[in-house]
Chains A and B, each alone.
Chain A
Amino acid sequence: MPREHLLKIGVSGVRGVVGEFLTPSLTLSFAQAFGTYVGGGRVVVGRDTRTSGPMLQHAVHCGLLAAGCDVVDVGVLPTPTMQIYVEHIRARGGIGLTASHNPPEYNALKLFNAEGQFFNHYERNELLDLYHQRDFAQAQNAAIGHVRRDDGTAKSIHIGRVLAKVDADRIKRRKFKVALDAVNGAGSVMTPEFLTDSLGCRLDAISIDPTKVFPRIAEPRPDTLGDLTALVQKSGADVGFAQDPDADRLAIADETGRVVDNDDVLALAVLRALAVVPGDVVVNLTTSSAIDDIAKTFHRRVYRTPVGEANVVDTMRAVRAAIGGEGSAGGVIFPAVQLCRDSYIAMAFLLDLMAETGQTVSQLVASLPAYTRNSGKVPFTHGRLGGLMQALEEGFPEAEADRSDGLKLIWPDRWLHVRASNTEPLLRLAVEARDGERASALYDTAWKLLTSL
């Protein structure tokens, strides 16, 4: 495995392989930098179900107490739930210990501001500088705060906000049969009661034991959700839901067990959200053009951002968007609940659409604007990226070029996006077109160009 995989300290926080790389010492220092940055007061700390979570949480507590903060320990909790709670109790900020969809040997610190949102680009840089400068606040004895546990309230606050944006009675009347795979993650402590008690679903669940390790690859993708497909087929469920370890992302299986494309999951959420609240849509450059078509029917604009949740969130905040997300990553961001990826509003929106239209999941997906998408990865050598991008742009002089994140080339009926991965020496190539053959042709041409250089 390349070395850059193992530890990354950057503007999005700290992430790495626990043990030799992501150590408790480093975690403590980052937490103390965070406590210094927010200037004392209450900080919410929670985690997903990784085995390293409790150990790292103690290090985070230590750093926060040393900086003069009080800690509110919410234990195992979905990331969006934690973010909502930070804002609800008017804390100075929050730290979530979760490496999201990364494998179990990883962990990371997600940092939230007083609104329970990601810090903006400038704040993230300031925090990183503070971490490197190591000029931390150092509380003396009488200024050391307390660690307080709160197990109860956060979940009901989150669920309450979600229910306010859907017709829960309509959903309950349908008594949907739902299959769930929570990957033994943070969703395990909340999703079953959300689906059964709040939405009246009949539940058939697997992997909802938060004390156990992840039984599958943590990222919910078609090739990792074989168990969910089997569960849907066995139990005859109307729909299958799969979460990642911190329950911010959602994957959906239709009533046949087929895993729905993440772009279509987002498109259905946008469809529902624009019917409920006013505002525009923000998605990343790699998200399907189906979003543009849907927004057009509501007379709404679509803003495109570089890939990355933080980039989408920054723009959503700036334009007061109604909804946003990243098709490729399976994240639905609905600010009326909270400005963060939230699998719960995504589940509720889909069930609400099903209840309203009486359609099955496969029928709903089929009703979306039809596009064909192709994507793949190309290894590249550092230092050659500029030349590759230049060659691509010159190879398609008739296309409109967007250079804000790698290179996106846009035609009226199709587009191509190439960008370097943040974590690996790989180029990610994505192509979309209305016509399947044109998509394949464009993908093959671009692939040849990239690999021939």
Chain B
Amino acid sequence: MRGDSGLRISPVGLRGIVGRGLTATHFLDFAAAFGTFIERGRPVVVGRDPRSSGRMAREGVVSALMACGHEVIDLGVVSTPVVQHALQRLDAAGGIAISASHNAAEWNALRFLGANGTYLSTAESNELLDIYHLRKFRFVEWDSIGTLREDATAIERYIDDLEQVFDFAALRGMRVVVDCCNGTSAPTLRRIVDRFGLDLVLINERVEGDAFAHEPTTSARMVELQLGPLIQPLQARAGFLFDIDSDRVAMADDLGRGVSEEMMLPLLADHLMTHTPGRIAITNLSSSALLEEVAAKHGGRVVRVPVGRQAAMDALAAYRPEQIAVAGEGTGAVMMPQFRFIYDGIASMLAVMTMMRERGQTVREILASYPRFEILKGEIPLESPRVPALLMDLQDDYPDARIDRSDGLRVSWPDRWFHVRVSQTEPILRVICEQRGEAPSALFESLMDKVRSYS
């Protein structure tokens, strides 16, 4: 069973609590596996979030990549989306973002990026993992060792890219409050304020490495707690809260109330599909069915895949970019085709602001125009060996419904659905249940009872 060190080595990469399971050797060896995996001849880009352990991890990553004969370009402390954008500009073969994102300060992780700036596919990730486990790294001889150079312009160039997509001038005068949680969103947003005159009120703006002002969780509860009291006194139109590497964002409305993270994807789908009707929205089996209604309104449709970034990446690769309007999760993480299909909290925030301006409405008013869905979520500790029997049992209970077994069990009817699956990170079973209109309390309770009977 997974211990309390949180160490996890998987196709998604490497993560854990530094000094308690996750060691310097893990960072260096995993970077050496990546250095062995990617082609030589083009540079490899490295960036990190401000965690103090990132200083240590960065040294190991740089050393391993140089030892594999790669030219390394270090962007310094930047967000993961900034690293992803830099990859194409610098014609890089790949990149490594050193960031534990929305985890607590004690955590860190390596995220591996392909040449186009997106995450690796399942096949690529598995190959990388095999190289790591085999530990036969392709270290070059003394006269072919790579070099290191630093690039301090990455944030500015990233903002240039944003400017291609968003009309900053039109967003001037729309006041929003932003909690940067001492992370990498701060320098980028400060620069956007200086460059375009946006009215962003930033809090927790100082970039910190040892500890953060609060847990960097991008949830409705956290954003309401942090920004709720500020929004009305400051007469702001909305509030946004970023995690440490600003790939995720949470949102509060003009009354200071946290907006469910489930709403970010349908909201942005509505916005993007207004401009590009008839396209596909890709999401996982656990996110709100509101997305289907929004897509239908614009003549589009929804493709649902197993939970996890990997499945989303594989689904994206199965379509042409111009077929896709948006991809994302119920966690609030959203990818947009204009932005190379990467999770980017700042781009999501700018898209929401653009949507508010175009419609002349607040997020609260837009959400009020959508049909009401109620979602219930629960989790129960469960021994892995009992899972298959439970899922078979549950499936037999609902012979009238549509069944999807691609990730645990998803059972759906026209007006409601539930999804039962094993967490990828903890030994627990997650139960999610949603219904149009009233909360599906009876269904949810019967599901939880059934799961409990197996635990």
| Interface set of A (CB-CB < 8 Å, partner B) | 17-20, 23-25, 27-29, 32, 50-52, 54-59, 61-63, 65-66, 104-105, 107, 136, 138-147, 213
**Given A23-B139, A140-B19, A141-B51, CB of A18 within 8 Å of CB of B145:** yes
Partner of A105 from B32, B52, B141, B147 at Cβ < 8 Å: B141
Interface residues of B in 12-41 (CB under 8 A from A): 17-20, 23-25, 27-29, 32
Could you list 14 A-B pairs, sorted by A, with CB under 8 Å?
A: A19-B139, A24-B60, A24-B63, A27-B63, A52-B145, A55-B146, A105-B143, A138-B19, A139-B18, A139-B19, A141-B106, A142-B52, A142-B211, A145-B55
B140 on the A face (CB < 8 A): yes
Partner of A59, one of B55, B63, B137: B63
> Are B25 and A25 in contact, with the CB atoms below 8 A?
yes
Residue B90 at the chain A interface, CB threshold 8 Å: no
Confirm or deny: B142 has a beta carbon within 8 angstroms of a beta carbon on chain A: yes
Within 8 A of A (CB), among B136-157: 137, 139-143, 145-148
Check A62 against B32 for contact (C-beta < 8 Å): no
| Pair B28/A25 contact, Cβ less than 8 Å | yes
Chain A residues positioned under 8 Å from B27 (CB to CB)? 62
CA distance A57 to B209 in the complex (A): 23
A24 touches B20 (CB 8 A): no
A66 B67 Cβ-Cβ under 8 A: no
Question: In the complex, what residues of B have CB within 8 A of residue A32's CB?
Answer: 24-25
Taking a contact as CB atoms under 8 Å apart, the answer to whether B106 and A140 are in contact is yes
When distances are taken between beta carbons in the complex, the residues of chain B under 8 Å from A61 are: 56, 59
**Complex Cα spacing A312 to B25, Å:** 35
Residues of B within 8 A of A105 (CB): 141-143
- Judge whether A144 and B18 touch: CB under 8 Å: yes
Whether A19 lies near B66 (C-beta < 8 A) is no
CA distance A147 to B64 in the complex (A): 18
Contact with A62, one of B60, B108, B210 (Cβ below 8 angstroms): B60
Measured in the bound complex, the distance between the Cα atoms of B210 and A171 in whole Å is 54
A55 to B62, CA, bound (A): 7
The 9 closest A-B pairs by CB, nearest first: A66-B24, A58-B63, A62-B60, A62-B59, A65-B56, A140-B19, A55-B66, A138-B19, A59-B63
B28 and A144 contact, CB distance less than 8 A: no
| B 86-116 contacts with A by CB, 8 A | 105-108
Chain B contact patch, size range: 35 or more
Most buried by B among A104, A107, A144: A144
Q: How far is the CA of A213 from the CA of B146 in the complex (A)?
A: 15
CA of A135 to CA of B332 in the docked complex: distance in angstroms?
41
Contacts of B18 in A (CB 8 A): 138-141, 144
| A142 touching B210, Cβ below 8 Å | yes
Say yes or no: B145 contacts A28, CB within 8 Å.
no
Complex Cα distance, B53 from A19, in Å, reads 27
- Asked if B32 and A141 make an inter-chain contact with CB atoms under 8 angstroms apart, the answer reads no
Q: How far is the CA of A52 from the CA of B59 in the complex (A)?
A: 15
Complexed CA–CA distance, A24 and B20 (Å): 22
Instruction: Provide the residues of chain A in CB contact with B57, threshold 8 Å.
Output: 62
Q: Nearest residue in A to B146 (C-beta to C-beta)? A: A55
Given contacts A62-B56, A65-B56, A141-B18, contact A23 B108 (CB under 8 A): no
Beta-carbon nearest neighbor of A140 in chain B: B19
Give A286 Cβ to nearest chain B Cβ, in Å: 31
Question: Chain A nearest CB: distance from B421 CB in Å?
Answer: 31
Q: When the two chains form their complex, are residues B66 and A58 in contact, meaning their CB atoms are under 8 A apart?
A: yes
- B28 — which chain A residues lie within 8 A by C-beta? 24-25, 28, 59, 62
Closest approach, in angstroms, between the C-beta of B137 and any C-beta of chain A? 7
B62 to chain A, nearest CB (A): 5
Chain A nearest CB, measured from B272 CB (Å): 38
B351 to A: closest C-beta gap in Å: 33
Give Cα A55 to B68, complex, Å. Answer: 10
Check B63–A65 contact: CB distance below 8 A: no
Residue of B nearest to A147 (CB): B55
User: A55 contacts B19, CB within 8 Å?
Assistant: no
Instruction: Check B106–A65 contact: CB distance below 8 A.
Output: no
Q: A25 to B29, Cβ gap below 8 A?
A: yes
In the complex, the answer to whether B63 meets A20 with C-beta atoms within 8 Å is: no
**Which single residue of chain B is at the shortest CB-CB distance from A67?**
B24
Q: In the complex the two chains form, is B32's CB within 8 Å of A25's CB?
A: yes
User: Which of B24, B27, B52 is most buried by chain A, counting CB atoms within 10 A of its CB?
Assistant: B24
Pair A28/B63 contact, Cβ less than 8 Å: yes
How distant is the Cα of A194 from the Cα of B55 in the complex, in angstroms? Answer: 35
Cα separation A62 to B67 with both chains bound (whole Å):
14
Most buried by A among B20, B56, B66, B148: B56
Q: Which residues of A contact B142 (CB under 8 A)?
A: 17-19, 50-52, 104-105, 107
A55 touches B67 (CB 8 A): yes
Known: A17-B142, A140-B53. 19 other contacts (CB 8 A): A19-B141, A23-B67, A24-B60, A24-B63, A25-B137, A27-B63, A28-B60, A32-B24, A52-B142, A54-B66, A54-B145, A58-B62, A59-B60, A65-B55, A104-B142, A105-B142, A105-B143, A141-B209, A146-B55
CA distance A61 to B148 in the complex (A): 15
User: For residue B140, which residues in chain A have a CB less than 8 angstroms away from its CB?
Assistant: 19
- Once bound together, how far apart are the Cα atoms of A65 and B32, in whole Å? 19
Tell me if B137 and A23 are in contact (CB < 8 A). yes
Most chain B CB within 10 A, of A28, A29, A139, is at A28
Q: Are B56 and A56 in contact (CB under 8 A)?
A: no
Residues in A with CB closer than 8 Å to B59 are 58-59, 61-62, 65, 147
- How many angstroms from the CA of A406 to the CA of B62 in the assembled complex? 44
User: Which residue in chain A gives the minimum CB-CB distance to B104?
Assistant: A141
List of A residues within 8 angstroms of B23 by Cβ:
66, 136, 138
A59–B147 alpha-carbon span in the complex (Å):
14
Check A65–B108 contact: CB distance below 8 A. Answer: no
Please report the C-alpha to C-alpha distance between residue A51 and residue B105 in the assembled complex, in whole angstroms: 36
CA–CA, A167 and B143, complex, Å: 43
Interface centre among A55, A138, A139, A144 (most CB of B within 10 A): A55
Q: How far is the CA of A29 from the CA of B29 in the complex (A)?
A: 11
Residues of B within 8 A of A50 (CB): 142
CA distance A61 to B55 in the complex (A): 9
Q: Which of B56, B66, B67, B211 is close to A144, meaning CB atoms less than 8 Å apart?
A: B56
CB-CB under 8 A from B147, the residues of chain A are 54
B29 with A55: CB separation less than 8 A? no
Set of chain A residues within 8 Å of B51, measured between Cβ atoms: 141
Which residues from chain A contact B137 at a C-beta distance below 8 Å? 23, 25
The 0/1 profile, CB within 8 Å of A marked 1, for residues 120-149 of chain B is: 000000000000000001011111011110
